[in-house]
């Protein structure tokens, strides 16, 4: 598999294109960032993730001020700065409007049914932050607050934001959440899913792989 040194513009471009090509960032939606020694490399406002080139990635400081680049940083920059501020172990963030995942945000349902062992083990739960105006500081604050003990957070009537140690890790988590959501929808058509029971969930959580 081809991917690039973590925390570089090439890394951001590579995972942006994969997000778009997987249908996880339709049109101009979504934004993506990595933590670097100099600040945060983040996609510029109005960028289609599939068409991104190096000029579409700007450097901001941890207060959201532009340090390098000729474009405006993503309007959701505060969501990224607030999460990096709260969690030293997070080095990469992706915000996505993936339709299957966003459907849960639109009905106001957190993603938490213990339906698939892989999900129980790797993700466990995607909590739901309340609706706030997109790009507002309040949205950033309320969403970041749920990152205290989770790496993925839904935003009511909006989408999802995910953080991790690298863009590769965040991408795989998002892909796995998307697969859960698709499975969930298909299961409803077939008559409704059955959850794992408490004992089964406990056994999965105690697995040491
Ligand atoms: Zn958004």
CATH number at 9-205 = 3.40.225.10
Q: What is the number of alpha carbons within 13 Å of residue 104 lying toward its C-beta? A: 26
Q: What are phi and psi of 26, to 5 degrees?
A: -60, 145
143-198 pLDDT tens trace:
999 999 999 999 999 999 999 999 999 999 999 999 999 999 999 999 999 999 99
| Distance (Å) from CA 153 to ligand 1 centroid | 12
41-93 pLDDT tens trace:
999 999 999 999 999 999 999 999 999 999 999 999 999 999 999 999 999 99
Asked if pLDDT for residue 27 goes beyond 70, the answer is yes
Number of residues assigned to the chain: 209
| Distance (Å) from CA 198 to ligand 1 centroid | 35
Rounded to 10 degrees, what is the CA torsion of 106, 110, 112, 118?
Answer: 60
Separation between Cα atoms, residue 115 and residue 24, nearest integer Å? 22
Q: Which residues are catalytic?
A: 76
Q: Where are the domains of the chain?
A: 9-205
| Distance (Å) from CA 204 to ligand 1 centroid | 33
Separation between Cα atoms, residue 105 and residue 128, nearest integer Å? 7
| Distance (Å) from CA 150 to ligand 1 centroid | 19
Neighbours of 37 (CB within 10 A): 5
Q: Which of 2-11, 31-40, 55-64 has the lowest mean pLDDT?
A: 2-11
Asked if pLDDT for residue 3 goes beyond 80, the answer is no
Separation between Cα atoms, residue 71 and residue 74, nearest integer Å? 9
């Amino acid at each position: 598999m081809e991917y690039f040194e973590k925390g570089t513009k090439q890394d951001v471009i590579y995972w942006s294109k994969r997000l778009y090509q997987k249908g996880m960032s339709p049109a101009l939606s979504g934004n993506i960032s990595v933590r670097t020694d100099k600040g945060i490399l983040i996609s510029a406002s109005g960028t289609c993730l599939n068409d991104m080139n190096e000029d579409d990635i700007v450097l901001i400081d941890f207060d959201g001020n532009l340090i390098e680049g000729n474009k405006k940083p993503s309007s959701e920059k505060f969501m990224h700065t607030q999460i990096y501020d709260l969690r030293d172990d997070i080095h990469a963030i992706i915000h996505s409007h993936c339709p299957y995942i966003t459907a849960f945000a639109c009905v106001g349902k957190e993603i938490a049914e213990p339906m698939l062992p892989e999900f129980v083990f790797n993700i466990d739960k995607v909590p739901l932050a309340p609706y706030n105006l997109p790009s507002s500081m309040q949205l950033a604050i309320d969403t970041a607050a749920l990152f205290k003990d989770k790496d993925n957070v839904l935003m009511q009537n909006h989408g999802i934001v995910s953080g991790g140690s690298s863009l590769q890790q965040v991408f795989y988590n998002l892909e796995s959440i998307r697969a859960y959501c698709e499975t969930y929808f298909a299961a409803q058509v077939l008559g409704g899913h059955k959850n794992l029971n408490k004992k089964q969930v406990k056994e999965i959580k105690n697995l040491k792989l």
